Amino acid sequence: MGFLDINNATKSYGSVKVLHETDISVEEGEFLVLVGPSGCGKSTLLNMIAGLEEVTSGDISIKGRSMNGVRPADRNIAMVFQSYALYPNMNVAKNIAFGLEMHGVAKDERDKAVAEVADLLQMRHLLDRKPSQLSGGQRQRVAMGRALVRNPDVFLFDEPLSNLDAKLRVDMRTEIKKLHQKLGTTIVYVTHDQIEALTLSTRIAVMFGGHVQQLGTPKEIYDNPANIFVAGFMGSPSMNLFPAKVQVENGAAAARIDLADGATVSLPFAPGNTMSGYDTQEIILGIRPEAITDEDGADRKSQAIHRIETRVEVTEPAGSDIFVVSHLGGKEVTGRFRADVDVSPGDVFPFAVNMDKAVAFDPKTEMRIG
Amino acid sequence: MASNASANVVRTGAGSRYVIYAILTLFCLYYLLPLYVMAVNSLKPLSEIQAGGMMALPSQWTIAPWQSAWSTAQIGVDATGLRPYFLNSILMVVPAVAISTVLGALNGYVLTKWRFRGDTIVFGLLLFGCFIPFQMVLIPMARMLGLMGIAGTVPGLIFVHLVYGIGFSTLYFRNYYQQFPTELVRAAMIDGAGFFMIFRRIMLPSSGPIAVVCIIWQFTNIWNDFLFGASFSDFDSQPMTVALNNLVQSSTGVKEYNVHFAGAIMAALPTLLVYIVAGRYFVRGLMAGSVKG
Ligand SMILES: Nc1ncnc2c1ncn2[C@@H]1O[C@H](COP(=O)(O)OP(=O)(O)OP(=O)(O)O)[C@@H](O)[C@H]1O
Ligand SMILES: [Mg+2]
């Protein structure tokens, strides 16, 4: 049993089930990120943990105590909202102290706690201002201060960075991560930004259509996606997914892929693969852009680099890399080349494919098969 | 908003501007004329009015008509002036406005932030209540007041106005609170504030503009009401409007027009005052929600 346990919890609005049976166990000090596209039920799950939405069935417990029917205020949680939700009629100090006041903490103790949090977040000079007199980043900071001051068991964040501009978002991301490392509190964090999920979390729950598609560490999710949705959703640019056919010769499995000009190539799966049972079956092959490179950029430690010559259609220089777009198996495929490679659209160019990193999916069930 | 407004203004030449000002001045005079007539005639002796020349300034200024209207004029059977009835109106209008505003705010809060099964039906019925013609409820209301034992009293009138006022005040506050971010309420819930604490500490402090609108609206309506006042009051609980009517009707022999004018101005003054004091918030509050910023 973990620190925060979600046991078979569901949520329905009338006859519409927006969250299907969900089981997640969060250890103390973990940073769990709920990630998924809009409408997948992330906020709903978070609000259920907070007690703002009731669970329709199942159970959520914190520190072994069932939270069903417990008021949000009595769960010892704190929440940071997307819109920050600062009380407009109170100054920053009062905003931060409001929760303590409601919990009957004495005035001088409140002042001390506010001062401590203000120092931690470096916002002493803002304490007398009204929320309307703060910038977006400062509001964000106050919202975090309001959560921190309560010293809760669990922090809940609902897309706290989505209203900030790109630069500030990256800064605040780092700050939240530092804060987590320093304080070691348990955090559940909702975002639809998969980069945020990968950088911040100790574990990720990828959600779609009210189901948790996969729960795992960022590395597990990235390297071993459980299904096509997770593979395509996590990573930027996203994983290349294209049809191929399994071919087993002398016990060694390979993927046959159609090239743009009508020819086919055969890419052997990496040693130790489990694909030999799928002879002649159609599969969806998934390879991340960084596993499709120019030959010199290929991973030297890999035992399964294979070469494909195909036509380059578009190049997208991105500073440190060039993204090179081509076609494999009838689908557009992006490779990541080093920036100084001399490649231009129209060239027929050798691509190095790292089959160590290739994953295969069943086209019908969309589940991972190898 | 200011920049918006000036962007929408059409530029005009000097010539057409004079025409516009001339027309505006004309309309202004047109609207102010009745007030002028009332004011000057309330400050003349009756003989001057009877001699004709309604429009003329008094040749002999006097405040006697005001004194008479306030404390000695014949109202119905008693020569008490309007003073006791003015007091009745105040005693009726202040609680009625205060209570209907507070209840409207509470209703709006519940209907937007603590939604419950059937809340739209409740709101629909409240709205429907706003549009029931007064005349329709006279008899049932009289029966109700009788049953409650407050027929013909000031509390009875307060009750009647409350019942009619809550629909409108709820409508105002509900629409206002609909724009109010629900996340604030949720944040306060997590912070540990209860139902009334959230209302008092989070909602009310942000409700200034709509409260002003609601107060002005209720005050003018209740103060100016004649029908309910005439139907549900006794001699000792009549509001100002009814008393004014009695003043004008009951004069035996000569009609003291100057006293009537003074009384009429007295009856209109409180609403005028409320508009002057809070009028700018009224426009602002009515616009709130429809225009951002
Ligand atoms: N009160 C409600 N009544 C009915 N359906 C609702 C209600 N609240 C949410 N839903 C539905 O539940 C689903 C999940 O909503 P939720 O807010 O959890 O999405 P989300 O993953 O947070 O999306 P976003 O990234 O857009 O915030 C959505 O399809 C939404 O339409
Ligand atoms: Mg959401």
Q: Do B187 and A88 touch (CB under 8 A)?
A: no
Q: Does B288 touch chain A (CB under 8 A)?
A: no
Chain A residues touching B203 at Cβ < 8 A: none
Residue B273 and residue B166 share a domain: yes
Residue B119 and residue B212 share a domain: yes
Torsion of CA A233, A46, B191, B181, to 10 degrees: 70
Query: For residue B96, which amino acid is it?
Result: A
* Lookup: tokens for A55: 């669970």
Residue A250 and residue A200 share a domain: no
Residue A200 and residue A325 share a domain: no
Residue B141 and residue B8 share a domain: no
- How many residues does the structure list for chain A? 370
Ligand 1 close to Cβ of residue A11 (< 6 A):
no
Ligand at shortest distance from the CA of A18: 1
Chain A residue nearest residue B207, CA to CA: A89
Is position A327 within any domain?
yes
Strands (E), A36-92: 57-62, 65-66, 77-80
Residue A250 and residue A189 share a domain: no
Residue B132 and residue B12 share a domain: no
Chain A residue nearest residue B117, CA to CA: A14
* Lookup: tokens for B116: 């419950």
pLDDT for the residue numbered B187: 92
pLDDT for the residue numbered A26: 94
CA dist B33 → B37, B38, B55, B244 (Å)? 6, 9, 9, 21
Query: Which of B181, B197, B205 shows the shortest C-beta gap to A83?
Result: B181
- DSSP reduced 3-state for B56: coil
Residue B117 and residue B27 share a domain: no
pLDDT for the residue numbered B252: 67
Domain boundary among A203, A233, A263: A233
Rounded CA-CA distance A117/A17 in Å is 40
Is position B22 within any domain?
yes
Question: Which of A220-229, B143-152, B276-285 tops mean pLDDT?
Answer: A220-229
Residue A260 and residue A155 share a domain: no
pLDDT for the residue numbered B2: 42
pLDDT for the residue numbered B292: 36
Rounded CA-CA distance B190/B92 in Å is 41
Structural domain total, chain A: 2
Is position B78 within any domain?
no
Residue A116 and residue A63 share a domain: yes
Quick check: A329 and A285 in contact, CB under 8 A? yes
Residue for token digits 């920049």?
B3
Residue A245 and residue A272 share a domain: yes
Residue B138 and residue B57 share a domain: no
User: N- to C-terminal Cα distance for chain B?
Assistant: 7
Ligand 1 close to Cβ of residue A22 (< 6 A):
no
pLDDT for the residue numbered A355: 92
Residue A226 and residue A177 share a domain: yes
Rounded CA-CA distance B266/B244 in Å is 9
- DSSP reduced 3-state for A35: strand
CATH classification of the domain holding A213? 3.40.50.300
Is position A94 within any domain?
yes
pLDDT for the residue numbered B284: 65
Domain boundary among B25, B49, B72: B72
ipTM over 0.90: no
Residue B107 and residue B66 share a domain: no
Residue B88 and residue B63 share a domain: no
pLDDT for the residue numbered B9: 66
Please, what are the averages of pLDDT over each run of 10 residues along chain A (370 residues)? 90 93 94 94 94 93 91 91 89 92 91 90 89 87 90 91 86 89 92 92 94 95 94 92 91 87 87 86 93 89 88 91 91 92 89 92 91
pLDDT for the residue numbered B291: 40
pLDDT for the residue numbered B188: 92
Is position A366 within any domain?
no
**What tens digit of pLDDT does each residue of B42-92 get?**
888 877 777 887 787 878 888 888 888 888 877 777 778 888 888 888 899
Is position B183 within any domain?
yes
User: Which residue segment(s) compose the domain that A328 sits in?
Assistant: 240-361
pLDDT for the residue numbered A336: 94
Q: State the distance from the centre of ligand 1 to the C-alpha of B237, rounded, in angstroms.
A: 56
Q: Which of A54, A71, A77, A89 to mutate to test the interface with B (most CBs of B within 10 A)?
A: A89
Ligand 1 close to Cβ of residue A41 (< 6 A):
yes
Q: Is the pLDDT of residue B101 over 90?
A: yes
**How many angstroms away from the CA of B97 is the closest CA of chain A?**
25
Ligand 1 close to Cβ of residue A40 (< 6 A):
yes
Q: Does B248 touch chain A (CB under 8 A)?
A: no
Rounded CA-CA distance A144/A117 in Å is 9
Residue B159 and residue B67 share a domain: no
**What tens digit of pLDDT does each residue of B245-255 get?**
888 887 566 77
Average pLDDT over residues B118-127: 88
Q: Band of the pLDDT at B236, cuts 50, 70, 90?
A: confident
Q: Count of A–B CB contacts within 8 Å?
A: 56
Residue A252 and residue A335 share a domain: yes
Is position A143 within any domain?
yes
Domain boundary among B49, B72, B95: B72
Q: Is the pLDDT of residue B290 over 60?
A: no
Q: Is the pLDDT of residue B7 over 80?
A: no
Is position A221 within any domain?
yes
Domain boundary among B43, B72, B101: B72
**How many angstroms away from the CA of B186 is the closest CA of chain A?**
7
Is position B293 within any domain?
no
**What tens digit of pLDDT does each residue of A41-96 get?**
999 999 999 999 999 999 999 999 999 889 998 999 999 998 889 998 899 999 99
**How many angstroms away from the CA of A340 is the closest CA of chain B?**
50
Chain B residues touching A51 at Cβ < 8 A: 190
Is position B292 within any domain?
no
Find out whether the peptide bond into A237 is cis, omega within 30 degrees of 0. Answer: yes
CATH classification of the domain holding A291? 2.40.50.140
Residue A253 and residue A225 share a domain: no
Q: Do A78 and B190 touch (CB under 8 A)?
A: yes
pLDDT for the residue numbered A168: 84
Is position B77 within any domain?
no
Ligand 1 close to Cβ of residue A192 (< 6 A):
yes
Q: Give the DSSP H/E element, type plus range, for residue B147.
A: helix B134-148
What's the pTM?
Answer: 0.81
User: Which residue segment(s) compose the domain that B250 sits in?
Assistant: 83-287
Is position B272 within any domain?
yes
Structural domain total, chain B: 2
Q: Do A82 and B205 touch (CB under 8 A)?
A: no
Average pLDDT over residues B12-37: 88
Chain B residues touching A50 at Cβ < 8 A: 186, 190
**How many angstroms away from the CA of B183 is the closest CA of chain A?**
6
Residue B147 and residue B37 share a domain: no
Residue B137 and residue B196 share a domain: yes
Q: Which of A13, A44, A62, A81 to mutate to test the interface with B (most CBs of B within 10 A)?
A: A81
Residue A157 and residue A247 share a domain: no
Residue B271 and residue B226 share a domain: yes
Q: Do A85 and B181 touch (CB under 8 A)?
A: yes
Residue A175 and residue A94 share a domain: yes
Q: Please give the angle made by the CA atoms of A239, A245 and A249, to the nearest 5 degrees.
A: 120
Domain boundary among A233, A255, A275: A233
Domain boundary among A213, A233, A253: A233
Is position A369 within any domain?
no
Closest residue by Cα to residue A32 from A196, A235, A228, A238: A196
Is position A276 within any domain?
yes
Q: Does B293 touch chain A (CB under 8 A)?
A: no
- Round the average pLDDT of chain B to a whole number and report it: 84
Residue A199 and residue A285 share a domain: no
Query: Which of B183, B188, B191 shows the shortest C-beta gap to A83?
Result: B183
Rounded CA-CA distance B161/A103 in Å is 40
